[in-house]
Chain A
Amino acid sequence: MTRFVWFWTFWHWSKEGFKQGALLRAPLHGVASHWDEWLRHEATERERALIEEAGAAEADQREFIRWLAKEWAPEAGYRANRVVVRFVLGQLAGVQPFARWRALEQFREGYGVGGISAVVLAEGSAGTPGDVRLIEALALPSDATGQTVVTEDFHIDAVDVEIPRRAAGEALRGRGLVAFLALWVGCGRRPYPVWLRGVLGAGWFGVAGLILYLTFGPDPGSRLAPFAAVLTSLALVLIAVGVTTAGVQIYQCWRGGGRLAETLEKSQLRLRMKGGLMVKGGSAGLAFCLSSMLAISRAAGRQTGSWLWDRFFRELRAKNGGWVATGVVTSAAQLKSVVLEPKLRACLAHPFVKHIIIPRQRPALAPGLALPSPAAKTHGVEPLSVAAPLTPSLRLGYASEQHYLQSHACRSVAAAMMVIGGFVSRWQMAVNVIAIASISALLFSAGDLASVLFPPRAPFAVAPASPSTASVWVSLDTRSPERFQVAMESSYWANRRTEVAAHRGDHPSVRAEIALQRLASPSSYDPVDATFWIERRNQFLGREFEAGERVGCYSLRYLRNLGYE
Chain B
Amino acid sequence: MTMQPNVGQLLRWRLALSEAEAPEAPTAASLLAIPRPWWELWPERFRDCVDRLSQIQVNHAFAMADPSRANPGGYLVPCVLENGAEQKEVHARILYFDVRKSQLRLRFALENPGEKAGDSLELTFVSEGAEHPLCAARAERSLDDEYHLEVELPGGIAAQWKHLKVTDRMPFRFILRPISGGE
Interface residues of A, Cβ cutoff 8 Å to B: 17, 20-25, 30, 32-34, 36-37, 40-41, 94-95, 143-147, 155, 278
Residues 59-90 of chain B, each 1 if its beta carbon lies under 8 Å from chain A, else 0: 00000001001001110000000000000000
Q: A33 — which chain B residues lie within 8 A by C-beta? A: 95-96, 107, 142-143, 146
Does B165 sit within 8 A of A, measured CB to CB?
yes
- In angstroms, Cα B69 to Cα A40, docked, is 28
Contact B69–A24 (Cβ < 8 Å): no
Q: Are B165 and A22 in contact (CB under 8 A)?
A: yes
Say if the beta carbon of B148 comes within 8 Å of chain A.
yes
Give the residues from 87 to 106 in chain B that come closer than 8 angstroms, CB to CB, to chain A: 93-98, 105
Q: Is there contact, CB below 8 Å, between B73 and A23? A: no
Query: Do the beta carbons of B114 and A155 come within 8 Å of each other?
Result: yes
Does the CB pair A25–B114 fall under 8 Å?
Answer: no
Q: State whether A32 touches B143 (Cβ < 8 A).
A: yes
Which A residues are in CB contact (< 8 Å) with B165? Answer: 20-22
Contacts A22-B98, A155-B113; A36 near B73 (Cβ below 8 A): no
Q: A37-B105, A144-B69 are in contact. Are A17 and B143 (CB under 8 A)?
A: no
- CB neighbours of B53 from chain A (8 A): none
CA distance A33 to B143 in the complex (A): 7
* A-B CB proximity, top 5 nearest: A21-B165, A155-B113, A144-B72, A22-B98, A145-B73
Would you mind naming 28 contact pairs between A and B with Cβ atoms under 8 Å apart?
A17-B96, A20-B165, A21-B167, A22-B166, A23-B95, A23-B96, A23-B166, A24-B93, A25-B95, A33-B96, A33-B142, A36-B142, A37-B107, A40-B148, A41-B105, A94-B143, A95-B142, A95-B143, A144-B72, A145-B72, A145-B73, A145-B74, A146-B72, A147-B73, A155-B113, A155-B114, A278-B113, A278-B114
CA distance A320 to B103 in the complex (A): 50
Question: Given contacts A144-B72, A147-B73, is CB(A37)–CB(B96) below 8 Å?
Answer: yes
Task: Among A33, A36, A155, find the residue whose CB has the most chain B CB atoms closer than 10 A.
Answer: A33
Shortest Cβ distance from residue B58 to the other chain A in the assembled complex, whole angstroms: 17
List chain A residues, Cβ under 8 A from B97: 22
Q: Across the two chains, which residue of chain A brings its CB closest to B109?
A: A33
Q: CB within 8 Å of A: which of B121-177? A: 142-143, 146, 148, 150, 165-168
Q: Which chain A positions have C-beta within 8 A of B148?
A: 36-37, 40
Contact residues in A for B66 (Cβ distance below 8 Å): 144
Q: A41-B150, A278-B114 are known contacts; what are 14 more A-B pairs with Cβ within 8 Å? A: A17-B96, A17-B98, A21-B165, A23-B95, A24-B73, A24-B93, A25-B95, A30-B95, A33-B96, A33-B146, A37-B96, A144-B69, A144-B72, A155-B113
Chain A residues positioned under 8 Å from B146 (CB to CB): 33, 36
Chain B residues within 8 Å of A40, by CB: 148
In the complex, the chain A residue whose C-beta lies closest to that of B107 is A37
Contact of B167 among A24, A32, A147 (CB under 8 A): A24
Contact call A21/B150, Cβ cutoff below 8 A: no
Distance in Å from the Cβ of A21 to the closest Cβ of chain B?
3
Give the complex CA separation of A34 and B166 in angstroms. 14
Could you say which residues of chain B place their CB within 8 Å of the CB of A24? 73-74, 93-96, 166-167
Report Cα–Cα, A14/B6, bound state, in Å: 68
Contact of A21 among B105, B107, B113, B166 (CB under 8 A): B166
CA distance A155 to B112 in the complex (A): 10
User: Which residues from B are CB-within-8-Å of A22?
Assistant: 96-98, 165-166
Report the separation of the CA atoms of residues A145 and B97 in the bound assembly, to the nearest whole angstrom. Answer: 16
Give A110 Cβ to nearest chain B Cβ, in Å: 16
Chain B residues with CB under 8 A of A20: 165
Closest to A22 in B: B98
Residue of A nearest to B114 (CB): A278
Give, as a whole number of angstroms, the nearest-CB distance from B176 to chain A.
Answer: 19
Give the chain A neighbours of B167 by CB distance below 8 A: 21, 24
- Closest residue of chain A to B97, judged by CB? A22
A residues less than 8 Å from B72 (CB atoms) = 143-146
Give every chain B residue within 8 A of A144 (Cβ-Cβ): 66, 69, 72
A34-B142 Cα distance, complex, nearest whole Å? 11
The answer for the CA separation of A36 and B148 in the assembled complex, in Å, is 9
B73 neighbours in A (Cβ, 8 Å): 24, 145-147
Distance of A501 from chain B, by nearest CB (Å): 72
A454 to chain B, nearest CB (A): 64
Per the bound structure, the CA–CA distance linking A143 and B148 in Å amounts to 22
Given the complex of chains A and B, what is the CA–CA distance between A37 and B106 in angstroms?
9
Q: Which of A20, A37, A40, A278 has the most CB of B within 10 A?
A: A37
Chain B residues closer than 8 Å to A147, beta-carbon distance:
73
From A154, which residue of chain B is reached at the shortest CB distance?
A: B113
CA distance A94 to B145 in the complex (A): 13
Distance, CA A17 to CA B166, complexed state (A)? 10
Specify which chain B residues have a CB less than 8 angstroms from the CB of A94 in the assembled complex: 143
Given A146-B72, A278-B113: A36 and B143 within 8 A (CB)? yes
> Using Cβ atoms and an 8 Å threshold, which residues of chain A touch B95?
23-25, 30, 33
Q: CA–CA, A37 to B168, complex, Å?
A: 20
A128 CB → nearest B CB, Å = 23
A20 to chain B, nearest CB (A): 8
Report chain B residues within 8 Å CB of A36. Answer: 142-143, 146, 148
Contact mask B34-60 → A, CB, 8 Å, 1/0? 000000000000000000000000000
Write the chain A residue with the least CB distance to B165.
A21
CA distance A94 to B142 in the complex (A): 10
Closest to A152 in B: B144
A36 CA to B146 CA, complexed, in Å: 11
Complex CA–CA separation, A144 to B68 (angstroms): 10
Residue of chain A at shortest CB distance from B168: A21
